[in-house]
Structure formats: structure tokens, C-alpha cells
Structure 1
Amino acid sequence: MIWAVFLPFILAVFIPFFDKWRQRIHTGFIVTVAPILIFIYFARFIGTNFEPITRSYSWIPSLDINLVFHLDGLSLLFVLLISGIGALVAFYSIYYLDKSEQLGHFYVYFLLFMGSMLGVVLSDNVFVLYSFWEFTSLSSFLLIGFWNFKKESRYGALKSMLITVFGGLSLLGALVFMTILTDTTSIQEMISQHQLILNSEYFPIILTLLLLGAFTKSAQFPFHIWLPDAMEAPTPVSAYLHSATMVKAGIYLIARYSPMMSSNDWFFIIVSSVGIVTLCWGSYMAVRQTDLKGILAFSTISQLGMIMSMLGFGTKVAVFAAVFHILNHATFKGSLFMVAGIVDHETGTRDIRKLGGLMTFLPITATLALFGTFSMAGVPLPFLNGFYSKELFFDATLHLDEIANMGLVGFVKATLPYLAVFGSIFTFVYSMYFFFGTFRGKAHLDSLPKKPHEAPIGMLISPIVLVLGVIVIGLFPNMVNEPFIAHAASAIKGMEVEKHVSFWHGPLYPPLIMSITVLVFGTVLYLARKQWAPAYRFIPGVLSMNKVYDGAVDRLETYSTSITKGYMNGSLGRYVRLVLSAILIVTFAFMAVTGGFTMDFSNLAPLSLPEILVAITMVIAAVATILTNNRITAILILGVVGYGLSMLFVLFRAPDLALTQLIIETVTVALFLLVFYHLPKLRKKEEATSTRVLNLIISIGFGALMTMIAISSHSSKWFDSISSYFLEKSHSLGGGDNVVNVILVDFRGLDTLFEIVVLGIAAMAIYGLIKLPGKKEDN
């Protein structure tokens, strides 16, 4: 299993070499092979008898951080979406991106992102999951900002990374809390101890931090603002990030932790409310957009809200519907993004105000868009998979009997069906707006940068495959139910979930009545769109979360600049004072709070008169260094401190250290003398009395801190000394009786080797500088 996660990373290393051959074979063909192999490998697990599989590989066992990959129904669903749609997107990009583009960079970013997503959905170790989680933010930043020459691309990439990384740090806090409470880094073991977390006084903090991580990644209101700006990425990136990967990571996180938290009322209230508000707001704002990818961006926000709300419900019907819609959304949304890319590629614009009547010129593309948009709208037709999951969504809002009907919970339960219909009405409107505004009506050929014509077959293959998925799942929904969807739903719910999917339940079936209501009101609103469009002047009007984000970033930059200018004034003395003060305060406070200062003088050897005299000489020399007004004198006096240390080594019977110190001190003093001889005479700057007092306090405090740490480290015996091991094994393992030599040559042979290498490199550098010919002065 590990090879599947790291195959994209390994292939990414070789992409720069393959990219040199792109005139013979397009790099995209090589890249497409990786997700196809991964998809084939995992597709063999689809079946009614599938059982979870766990594979563990040692990484940092001392910290309980190992590469543990867990494959169950939920992770299998996401792995197949990541690899399957990844293969289609990679193939689509071959025909979408021009060969003049930096294809090597694109495919490296693409593979890094794919591997990161696979790591997220397969990792069972929370810290490995977090590592992959943040790597998805980094790689998506590179993908969104691929066209870095465009200001909009840079803005969108930075915006997405700032918001998602903020959520990632919140997620890390939740994972650390849960790890401490359960004493495990395994997600599955945490779930088995869910009562320990639910009953903890820290549960509100854990829930808040976890949901922040999920909401920011899955573009839930009010963190949705990064997703529309991410549309500046090339269309293959948009199709991949917003149909099967990036935005689904937050969905996956909530789904994975649902068995642990779904029984909590606040989980239901927050997740359901945020999800249903995101559905309504995203669908309402989608109708306002004029860019095809902008429409799809807000439609993605609304669809993610719908899935999130169902996970918040937590009932069997809702969980099954959520999983089913994850699959359905990936098929129709992936195809629609590719359709938008084809329209842009063949007409030169995505502005729907300039489009229209393209069915005549792009008949195949229009047909694909027809199936995709009508499935997304939930039109009740038996060959559209979107209708089934939309109807299950309505059914889930009506059957929340497992949840207590009281207080705020009861209010949320009562409003959910109405908000679901409201959001779905606008979903229908923007779906019709996308299709009919682009492919029907009068063509505006004069306003198009390019004369439209049908896309090449290579660009059509990927959306055709996805639309066939829409149709096949619509015609045979139970074909993917028992061997596939039911396993994923069971993994989320923590128990077996079975649901038979059928198109017809009778004319008075409440969800069908809700669907017909959506169809009727949606048609009216679409036809009267121009009449009610002025409503956007009032809602949202001038209010915008983008303004909040931009204002926050601007203020952050302004304040950080002013703070930086406050201490970065070019004064080396100030820099040293700040650094030492920070070390002094933080270290002293931490050591004092944790009881790190341990003073035990009982096992110290008595001091002799020679040792005391040498120490006093070193102190006098150190103080004299400060008082002297001549650089050469200061260097010579400072050398007394170094040679005094060598004398202490001799008195403490460490001749090897004494010789080393003598050599280093001699070379250092000689080098300093050579360099400082050519500098101008020392002119001490007159400083204020307060500055001198501050310097004295910092110096004494820092020296005292280092002394206390040295004594405490000698007095504290947290671990058994390794010296006895060296004494016992020096002769038998190292073949020598000089323990110090055996340690340096045998036990720490590699350390010594690299130290010698470093010294050798330094010696060659110094020799090169000495031999470097100087510039001859003009006569």
C-alpha cells in the first residue's frame, strides 16, 4: 500500500528528466500512468466481502509516529476518486495546456498534490495525516499560482494557502489534544476511546479546532472566499481540486471523525447549520456570477455545504446520502469543469455574457454539459445520478428521529427541510443558467476572441468518461451501492449501513414532492432572473467576506512592517540584546515553571588552589576585555580566557581536550590578529546610562542562566549514564583500551568522519582564499 502513496512523489522526482523528451512524448502521458496503476490496484478491493486493511511501516517509533495506512470503505472511496479522476485530469491536460507552458513544473506540482491527498485519506497516524494535510495546502498553492505572471493567480494562491494553513494549524491543535487524552496517535484507536474525548473538559476546544480545520479546507461559510479566487488556476487544476481532492479533504476529515463525535449535540448543531447555510449562500451567489468557472466555484461551495450538512445529521440515511453524493458530485462536477475549459479553449472566453448558441458549434460539448448540469440540478430523470442523492438528502432532512427534539437542536431540525429546498431551488437556477446561457439562445460570434468549433477528441475523452459515470450510476445505482457505497457509509457510521436506492417511491413520496417544488420554483426564478437580479444590491450588497480578508491581510502587513522597523534599525547591539533577552526570559521561565533547576553539590569533587587561581584569572581577563579600548589588546586578553580553559582541562586530566583547545585558541587568536590589524582604530560609541545598565543586567542574567543550566544538567540524572556501556564494551567491541579513542573511532565513527570532512572542506576553502590572486593596483 505504501508504494501507491509514494509513487506520485517518486515519479515527480523524474519529471524534469522526462520533460526534456516532450517533443517525442508528452510528459502528460507518463504522468497519467501513475494514477491509472493506483486506481487498478485499489479497484480490486471493491466487493461485498471487503474488510479493512492496515499496513504499518516504522518511521519515528520513539515518538509513536509511524507510517500507518488504513484502508476501509471510506478511504477506498476517496482513493479511487483521487486516482481515477486524477488520471482523467492528467489526460485532459495534455490537450488543454500548450507545449510552450512550463509543463515540467505543472506535472511535478500535480503529482505532489495527488500523493499528498492519497496520504491524507489513507493515514491512520494523526501526525502523518497532518503532514500530508499541510502538503496539500502547499502543493495546491503551487498549482493555483501556476500562471504566476498573473496578479490574480498569485492573489488566489496566497489566499487559499493562508486560509487553509490557518485551518491546518487549528487541526494540529485538535490532534495534539486528542493524542494526549487517548495516549495514542492512531485514529482508529482514538475512535475506540471516543467516550474519553467526549467526556473531557477539553472537548469544546477539540471540536472547535477540528471543525476549523475541516471548514477552511472544504470552503464552508464564511471560509469559502478562497475557492472562487482559486479559479485562476488552469482548468485541469480546477477540475481536480474541486471535484475529487482539495475541497473534499475537509469532508473526509469530518467523515473520519464522525463515529467519535456525531453523538454530540453541538456537533450536529454546528456542522448541520454551517453546511446548510453554505448550501444556501453558495447556490444563491452562483447565479450572480458571469464567469463559467465562477459559477462552478460557487456551485462547488453549495454542493460541499450539502454534503457537510448531511454528515452533521449523522443518521444512517444522511450518511449514506452524503457518501453517494460525494461520488455523484465528483462525476458531474469534474465533467462540467472540463466543459468550461473546452468552451474557454475553443472560444477564448469564459464570460457567459459573451457566450450563447454554442450548441451548434460544440454539439458534443453541449451534450456533455446537458447531462452534467441536469444531474447537478437534481432533475428527476432515471439516468441522472444527481437526482438520487438529492432525493436522499431531502429524505434525510425529514427523518432526524435519532436526534433529540429540544432547544436549539429542535429549532435546527425544524428549519433544515425548508433551507434544503431553498438552497436546491437556486442550485436548479444556476445549473440552468450555466447550460442555457452558454449553449442555447443567440450566438454572439462578434464578441468572441476565437471562432468556436468542437474540441479535439483527446480533450473530450475525459468528460465523456465522467458523463458515462453519471448515466451508468443513474441507471444502475445499486451496482455501486452494496460493493462500494455501503462500505464507505458503514465506515463513517461505525456500524453496518444498508440502503436500497430506487427511482420511484410513489407519487406522494415527500422527497419527490420537494424535488417537484424545486423544479417548479427553480424554473420560475430562472425565467425571471433579470427581474429579481437587483436583489444582489441589497444581499449581500456592499458586505463581503473578501473585504474582511483583504482588510485583515492589509492590517497585518502594516502592523508587521511597523513592528519590524521598530527593532530592525541596523544596530547590532540592539539585535544582540533582543536575542539574548528573549532566550533569557523564555528559558528561565520554562525552567522555573517545570522545575528544571536542580542544584545538587553533594557529588562534586573539591576545588584545589590551582583551579581556583586559573578560574580567577579567566574572570579578570574576561572583564578586562570589556574595559580595553584597543582591539589587539582585547584579542590578546581574550586569548587568556581560552588558554585558561586549556589549563583547566589539564588539571581535570583531559589532555586530549586540552590539546584541542590549545590548537583552536592559537589559530583563532592568530586569525583575529591578522584580520583586526587592518581595521581602523577602535572607537567606542558613547551609550546612555540606561543602555549600559540594561547591557549589564542582560550579561549577568544570561551568564547566571548558563551557569544554572550547567549545574542543573550535571545534577539531574533523567537517564542512565551510557559511560558504563562504553567502559564495558570498549575492549570487546572496539578492540581498544583507550575508551575515548574507541568512542571517537568506533562508537561515533560516522560523527568523526563527517567532522573530518567538514574540517577538510574548510581547509580547502581557506587554501583557496589564500591562493586567490589579488587585484593589482594601477601604477
Structure 2
Amino acid sequence: MTLLHWAILSPFIYALFIPLVHKCFKNLHMGWFILPLPIVLFCYLLNMIPITSANKTLVEEVNWIPSLNIDFTVNLDGLSLLFSLLITGIGALVLLYSTFYLDKKKEKLNLFYFYLLLFMGAMLGIVLSDNLIVLYTFWEITSLSSFLLIGYWNEREKSRNGALKSMIITVFGGLSLLGGIILLYLLTGSFEIQEIIVYIRQQDVHSHPFFLLSMFCLLLGAFTKSAQFPFHIWLPDAMEAPTPVSAYLHSATMVKAGIYLIARLTPIYAQSAYWLWTIAVVGIITLLYGSFFAVKQTDLKGILAYSTISQLGLIMSLLGLGAANFHFHLENDYYTIATAASLFHLVNHATFKGSLFMMAGIVDHETGTRDIRKLGGLMTFMPITFSIAIIGAFSMAGLPPFNGFLSKEMFFTAMVTIKEFDLFQFGTWGVLFPILAWIASVFTFIYSMMLVFKVFAGKYKPEQLPNKPHEAPIGMLISPLILVSLVIVIGLFPNILSNTILSPAVAAVYGDVPSYDLHIYHWHGFNIEFFMTIGVFVLGVLLSLTFTKWKNIYRMFPYSINTLYDFLIEKGKVWAKQLTNRYMVGSIRTYLFYIFTFLVAITGYTLLTKNGVNFHGKNLAQIGLYEIVLSLVLIGATISILFTKSRLTSIILLGAVGYSVSLFFVIFRAPDLALTQLVIETVSVALFLLCFYHLPRNARKKESIGFKMNNAIISVLVGITFSIIAISSYNTKLFDSISSYYIENTYKKAAGENMVNVILVDFRGFDTLFEIAVLTIAAIGIYTMIKLRLGGHNSENK
């Protein structure tokens, strides 16, 4: 195990100590115990910058399941380092913020931080793993930990529903991701991403049917995790989680997992035009949809949720355009500007959106509400929070001199330069990309202004506020202040990231690019992008001031995908209940009828279609008088059980069936089996008599002729089917019998003379042990139920 492996596993190991620390130090806020871990990890990863900035890759491998080609391979390059720094850096700030935000007396902080560490470790595992199966394992841990964090306040119905929705959608995408991984393995013979990239470059597999199928399966997994249209509906409901969770999972880390996956797999699939078009189109639609409906929201976190959807769409569309390099093999900077813009905006989004989520949490914490219709005039009461809001919101709106302005300008440049690509020429549908990008930027400007001026400007409404507003404590302000400071610093000095963080990440996305010299400027002259920015500002201000006059446009959209989801969930419950009531009738006989019918149908179909019926009498022994007599007795006793009306008679006849079978064992020279059968039948008859003694008198229901006929038919079919299977199995010898092995080795290896006992105790020792364990568990369960039943009766009698 290397240090990188321990970096991934350390949050999981650290989480194991939380219960002990919580029990021993009850007065300690658990956040102070957790905080050092992400700080140490962040500092460790910072030391890796010289390695990645030199365009080197650090690969460490630990064997996990070699027989299945699954190794715990860690791959640290520019792309994985960028995401790892975000996970640990933003994680440290969120933990510091949560230490002051969450009350240790009111909250179960041990559970909260346990879930948070699970998530942090899983995200590090995703971005550092080179093996797709290991990546998928961590991928599903993020879905599970996200579910637990969103539903942290489980006493609230909205929290439970939001957690369930996120689980359903992201796990659905995760299963699709697993299918894509398996198809990719069948296509290339490897789970290692770097090996797959090499194989794809050497072999022409683009015409293989698994290529496109695996691509769309993987894209589905990425889109669901990164809240792309139409799978975005889980993200707004996830805002029911505590604000630190929203700031960490839903702005900086979890929702970026899908973006990381697409960036990492770009060298594999980008030769296909379907990859470019799908990502670019889904991204631009998500950008426009999220920004348009963010303006409609009245909840602070609701606005931020839809703005996150919009910003994720922006990054996704840039990745789609950036992948065009692989398709066209361009020799200029057109192909890199889009990818560089996507990664740059990824960093910028984490800074300004993290600070805005924390700002929303502060407003909610200090005023008691997040409804912007009740808020207003808070700048005089909360001047520091107002400063945080204005810097974060102006950066998100793309205004200078903040970092969001720079990545937004690069976004416009990428959209304008798509004319260089044949697939995206202005004479085709590609002309819509810059148009939709510009429209979405206008709505982004509007909701950014709403976050500031609807909350901190305007009329103060103290009568509508549950709490009297005041500035947050300094501890709660440190983290957002650090983030907005980064917004300013990166905005003024963007090239501190360009060749240290961003260029290696761009090179890692393309794989075969040795280096990329990136320089970010504030001024590019009077070009199309400049006039697009001016247009966004002018129209954005105009629409913001006249919002009350055109807001009724949202009434044109009474239904949404969320409405469809709710309908399917509600109807699904009704349909499931109706279906369940049809077969869960409380009758064991009915359940057995279903089971045997299905068994006969599947087994019979297989025997007939696979030519499995094989019957001849060459290997059969002679049938004597004793076998005939015992068979008649066994058949007669079995049929008599069906017609007897007495329980005592049924038990005796059932015992006769068992004793007849034991006599067969005697005739066939199997005394051990005969003795075992005799003991079991004796004990069974005695237990039956004991149990039936306590049952009420037998009141048989009159059963219809049709019901009896159905039972008779299925019983005969089961008997015939299994008889055919037994005879066919006996007459079909595909391998040598294992009995010779037992004959030769029973005494030699097990030092036993009784072959049956040796097989049960030695050769099949674990099987027998597990059977005993199952019987023990069943016995404990039966004993517990009997005790509870008797205890209940005693309490009632008292």
C-alpha cells in the first residue's frame, strides 16, 4: 500500500474512530476531530503539483482480485489532482463551517461526520482509481453516503423523499454505468482505463456493437450523477440536506463526479460523433433549462440548486465541444479552449457556489427563513454576509474582475469558435449553441442579481422573519470568506492556476498532448465575446428591473419532469399494491402452486429446446418383487393422504411414506441412510403429533372442482418433470463419476471407513457446517417467536 492508497482509505479508517471519540469526549464538537484529516490530505496533494505540472503521472498498483483482472490501481495525473484538491480543500472549509453551523446539543454529529467521511473517501476513490470496477465501487458509495446525508434530518418528510429520489436516480445511473463497464471489458479485455485507451488507439473497435452501447450506458451514469437534463430533478429536492452538505456534495464534489468520468473517458470515445453531439446537446439544454427555471424559485437554496444544474450543463457542453479534437485532429488552440474553459469553470464554480451556499445557510441560520419574498434589507444587519453574497453572485453572473468572468469569456469563445468544426458549423444546428449559451447567460445574470438584491437590498420586513437578523459569528464566516477571497485572487491573477493546475489537467484529458501552454487574459479586444457580454449585462439588468411584468411567463409550464416522477412513484405504489394483493393471498398452497408452475414451465421448456431428454434402460438394474411391493405401498400411502379427513391418519400415512423410503435404502444396501431416515421419520411423526395436538379442530373448506383439478395437474406435471430430469441425468454421463475419488481417498485422506460420514464431515465439512448454522438460526427464530407469543398471552391473561 502506497501513500496514495492510504490517502483514499484514510477517511474510511478515520470514520471508524468517530463512535469511540464521541463516547469518550461528549463535550467535543466532532468537527474539530475530523477537520485535521482533509487539511493534511490537501497539503499532501499540494506537494504533488510539481509532478503533474511536469506532465508526469504517478501510478501505484495493489493486487486485489487478480483472477478477475481487478487491481486497486491509483493514477495521479493533472486531472485527478485537480479534482482531489477540490475534494479535500472544499471539504476542509465545509467541515470548518459545519463546526459552527451545527449544534452539537441538537444534532447527532457522530452520524453526520461518519457519513461525510464516507463520502469524502469515496470521491477520492473515484477520481484516483484507474480500475473501472474499483471506480464503480466508490461511485456507489457516494450514492449511499449522499442518500444518508440528504436524509440526515430523517424526521422531516421532505428530507426522506429527497434522499429517496436521489438514491433512485443515481443508483439507476450507477447500474447503467456498471453495464457500460462490463461491455467495455468485453470489448477491450481490460478494466484499467489507461490500458483501454492504448487498446482503443491500436485497434479499430468503433464499428463494434458494444462500442456505442457501452458509451451510452456510461453517459447515462455520468448524466444522472451530474444532474443533467432530464435527470436533474433529484438535485433541487436534495436541498433538504443541511447546508454544509449542499455546499460540499451539490456544488463542489458529488455532482462533479459525472463530469470527471466524461473527461476521463474522452480519449476512449471522442472519436465518435455521437459522443460529441450527445454531451454538447445535453449540456446546452441543461444550461438553458436550469438558468431559466432558477429565476422562478423563491427559496434561496432552490435558486442555488437550479443554478448548479445550469452551471453543470455549461461545463458539460464545454467538454462535448472540447472532445472535437479527437474527431478532427486539429493542430491549433480551438480544441483546447473548450476543455480548458470547462476545467477552469469547474474550479471557479466550486469557489463562488460554495460561498453562496454557505451564505444561504447563514441567512437561514440567523433569520429563520430562506424565502426571498420574506427577506430584504439585510445589508445593514449582515454587512459581511452581504459582501460574500455580492462577490459570489457577481462572479456567477460573469462580471469582472471576478474569476467567473474569465471562465465565462472562455465559454463564449468556445461557443463562437465551433464554426471550425464540421459537425458544428453555423450552417447546421451548431448555430444554436452560441445563441442558447447567450440566452442562458442572460438568465444566469438575472438569478445572480436576485440572490443579492432580493435578500440584502429593498425593504426590511421584520414582521415576516422568525428571528431578528444579525451578523453570523466569525467562525461561520471564515470558510465563505476564504472562498470569496479565492474568487477575487483567481480573478485578478488567473495564471497562478493556468500552468500549475489547469494545463496538466487539460493534457491529462487528451492523453496524447505532451503539454499545453495556457494563458488567461482579462481583455481580448472588441470581439464577438465582448459584445455578447455587453448584451448579457444590458438585457439582464433590463429584465431584472421588469421581472414583475414578465414573470407570468412561467405559468405556461404547469407541468415538469418532476411532476412525471411524482406521478410514476404514486401510481407505482398503487400498481405494486394491486399486483401484490393478487398473489399474496396468505395461502401456502397457492404460493407453492405459483412456484411449481413456474418451475415446471422453465424446466420443461429447457429440456425440450435443449434436447435434454435422454431415456434408455441400458444402465438400469433389475426390478424385483420387493421394489414393486414397496413402490405400491409408497404410492398408495401418498394418494391416501389426499383423501383422509383425520389429521392423525394423515400423519400416520406420511410416516408410512418415509418408512417405505428407508426400506428402499435397506434393499439398496445403504444402512446409514436407512438409519438416518428412520430416525428422522420417527422424530417427525412425534413432533407432528405434538404440534397438531394443540391445533383447533380441523374445519376443512369446501374446495371447487377447478381448484382440485389445478392442484392435481400441477402435481402430476412436477412428478413427471423431475422423473424425466432424474432419468435423463442418470443416462447422461458428461464426466466421470466422483464416487471413485471418494472410494480411493476416504480412508487415505480422512482416515475413516464410513464413506457417507466422511463425505458429510470432511469432504463437505463447510457445507454441513452451514446447514447446521441455518438450522440453528431457524431454531432460535422459532424459539423467540414462541416465547413472544407465550409472553403476549400471559400479559393478556394478567
Q: Structure 1: how far apart are the matches of 2:81 and 2:206?
A: 28
- Residue 457 of structure 1 deviates from its aligned partner by 1.9
Counterpart for residue 91 of structure 2: 86
Contact kept in structure 2, 1:269 and 1:412, CA below 8 Å: no
Change in Cα spacing, 1:178 to 1:502, as seen in structure 2 (3 Å) is closer
Counterpart for residue 537 of structure 1: 555
Q: Structure 2: how far apart are the matches of 1:736 and 1:188?
A: 55
1:255-293 C-alpha deviation (Å, 9 max, x unpaired): 232222222222222221111111112112112222111
2:374 is aligned with 1:354: yes
- Residue 95 of structure 1 deviates from its aligned partner by 1.2
Counterpart for residue 152 of structure 1: 158
Change in Cα spacing, 1:13 to 1:504, as seen in structure 2 (3 Å) is closer
2:127 is aligned, of 121, 124, 142, to 121
Q: Structure 2: how far apart are the matches of 1:475 and 1:650?
A: 95
Change in Cα spacing, 1:581 to 1:41, as seen in structure 2 (3 Å) is farther
Contact kept in structure 1, 2:424 and 2:431, CA below 8 Å: no
Q: Structure 1: how far apart are the matches of 2:611 and 2:47?
A: 56
1:514 is aligned, of 524, 532, 546, to 532
Q: Structure 2: how far apart are the matches of 1:63 and 1:607?
A: 50
- Residue 236 of structure 1 deviates from its aligned partner by 0.9
Counterpart for residue 486 of structure 2: 469
Counterpart for residue 455 of structure 1: 472
2:280 is aligned with 1:277: no
Which amino acid in the other structure matches residue 597 of structure 1? Answer: G
Change in Cα spacing, 1:760 to 1:522, as seen in structure 2 (3 Å) is closer
Change in Cα spacing, 1:777 to 1:42, as seen in structure 2 (3 Å) is closer
- Residue 336 of structure 1 deviates from its aligned partner by 1.0
Contact kept in structure 2, 1:397 and 1:413, CA below 8 Å: no
2:565 is aligned with 1:557: no
Contact kept in structure 2, 1:355 and 1:439, CA below 8 Å: yes
- The percent of aligned pairs where both chains have the same amino acid is 51
2:136 is aligned with 1:130: yes
2:36 is aligned with 1:18: no
- Residue 83 of structure 1 deviates from its aligned partner by 2.5
Counterpart for residue 651 of structure 2: 635
Which amino acid in the other structure matches residue 27 of structure 2? Answer: R
1:394 is aligned, of 401, 405, 412, to 412
Which amino acid in the other structure matches residue 380 of structure 2? Answer: T
SS in 1 for 2:576: helix
Q: Structure 2: how far apart are the matches of 1:718 and 1:760?
A: 37
Which amino acid in the other structure matches residue 32 of structure 1? Answer: L
Which amino acid in the other structure matches residue 455 of structure 1? Answer: A
Q: Structure 2: how far apart are the matches of 1:243 and 1:15?
A: 26
Counterpart for residue 612 of structure 2: 597
1:579 is aligned, of 569, 572, 595, to 595
2:49 is aligned with 1:46: yes
SS in 1 for 2:407: helix
Q: Structure 2: how far apart are the matches of 1:208 and 1:590?
A: 33
Change in Cα spacing, 1:19 to 1:633, as seen in structure 2 (3 Å) is same
Q: Structure 1: how far apart are the matches of 2:539 and 2:356?
A: 24
Answer with 145-154 or 16-25: which moved more.
16-25
- Residue 129 of structure 1 deviates from its aligned partner by 3.4
SS in 2 for 1:622: helix
Change in Cα spacing, 1:777 to 1:186, as seen in structure 2 (3 Å) is closer
Which amino acid in the other structure matches residue 31 of structure 1? Answer: I
TM-score scaled to structure 2, two decimals? Answer: 0.87
Q: Structure 2: how far apart are the matches of 1:122 and 1:518?
A: 39
SS in 2 for 1:56: strand
Q: Structure 1: how far apart are the matches of 2:194 and 2:437?
A: 33
Counterpart for residue 342 of structure 1: 362
Which amino acid in the other structure matches residue 507 of structure 2? Answer: S
Contact kept in structure 2, 1:259 and 1:493, CA below 8 Å: yes
Q: Structure 1: how far apart are the matches of 2:581 and 2:601?
A: 23
SS in 1 for 2:428: helix
Which amino acid in the other structure matches residue 87 of structure 1? Answer: A
2:34 is aligned with 1:31: yes
Counterpart for residue 231 of structure 1: 239
Counterpart for residue 483 of structure 1: 500
- Residue 170 of structure 1 deviates from its aligned partner by 2.9
1:502 is aligned, of 515, 520, 544, to 520
SS in 1 for 2:232: helix
1:616-656 C-alpha deviation (Å, 9 max, x unpaired): 54344333333332222222222233334434444555444
Which amino acid in the other structure matches residue 432 of structure 1? Answer: M
Contact kept in structure 1, 2:356 and 2:392, CA below 8 Å: yes
Contact kept in structure 1, 2:184 and 2:210, CA below 8 Å: no
2:255 is aligned with 1:250: no
2:342 is aligned with 1:322: yes
Q: Structure 1: how far apart are the matches of 2:543 and 2:90?
A: 34
2:541 is aligned with 1:523: yes
1:383-428 C-alpha deviation (Å, 9 max, x unpaired): x222222222112112236642479x96332211111111112112
2:146 is aligned with 1:140: yes
Which amino acid in the other structure matches residue 129 of structure 1? Answer: L
Q: Structure 2: how far apart are the matches of 1:300 and 1:712?
A: 63
Q: Structure 1: how far apart are the matches of 2:103 and 2:530?
A: 46
SS in 1 for 2:63: strand
1:541-567 C-alpha deviation (Å, 9 max, x unpaired): x23222222222222122222222222
Q: Structure 1: how far apart are the matches of 2:320 and 2:8?
A: 29
TM-score scaled to structure 1, two decimals? Answer: 0.89
Change in Cα spacing, 1:337 to 1:762, as seen in structure 2 (3 Å) is closer
Unaligned runs of 5+ in 1: none
1:654-700 C-alpha deviation (Å, 9 max, x unpaired): 44444333332322221112112332444443322222222223223
2:279 is aligned with 1:259: no
- Residue 125 of structure 1 deviates from its aligned partner by 3.9
Contact kept in structure 2, 1:373 and 1:431, CA below 8 Å: yes
Contact kept in structure 1, 2:672 and 2:756, CA below 8 Å: no
Which amino acid in the other structure matches residue 58 of structure 1? Answer: W
Which amino acid in the other structure matches residue 690 of structure 1? Answer: G
2:456 is aligned, of 417, 436, 439, to 439
Change in Cα spacing, 1:491 to 1:406, as seen in structure 2 (3 Å) is closer
Counterpart for residue 331 of structure 2: none
Change in Cα spacing, 1:534 to 1:778, as seen in structure 2 (3 Å) is closer
Counterpart for residue 111 of structure 1: 117
2:389 is aligned with 1:373: no
Which amino acid in the other structure matches residue 232 of structure 2? Answer: H
2:629 is aligned with 1:621: no
2:621 is aligned, of 600, 606, 620, to 606
Q: Structure 2: how far apart are the matches of 1:691 and 1:243?
A: 61
SS in 1 for 2:418: coil
Counterpart for residue 326 of structure 2: none
2:439 is aligned with 1:428: no
> When the two structures are aligned, how many residues end up with a matched partner?
772
Answer with 689-698 or 289-298: which moved more.
689-698
SS in 1 for 2:233: helix
1:166-185 superposed matches below 5 A: 166-185=172-191
Which amino acid in the other structure matches residue 56 of structure 1? Answer: V
Contact kept in structure 2, 1:368 and 1:464, CA below 8 Å: yes
Change in Cα spacing, 1:80 to 1:730, as seen in structure 2 (3 Å) is farther
Counterpart for residue 5 of structure 1: 8
1:294-323 C-alpha deviation (Å, 9 max, x unpaired): 111111010000011111111332222212
Q: Structure 1: how far apart are the matches of 2:681 and 2:500?
A: 74
Counterpart for residue 422 of structure 2: 404
Q: Structure 1: how far apart are the matches of 2:466 and 2:90?
A: 30
Unaligned runs of 5+ in 2: 324-334
- Residue 613 of structure 1 deviates from its aligned partner by 5.0
SS in 1 for 2:296: coil
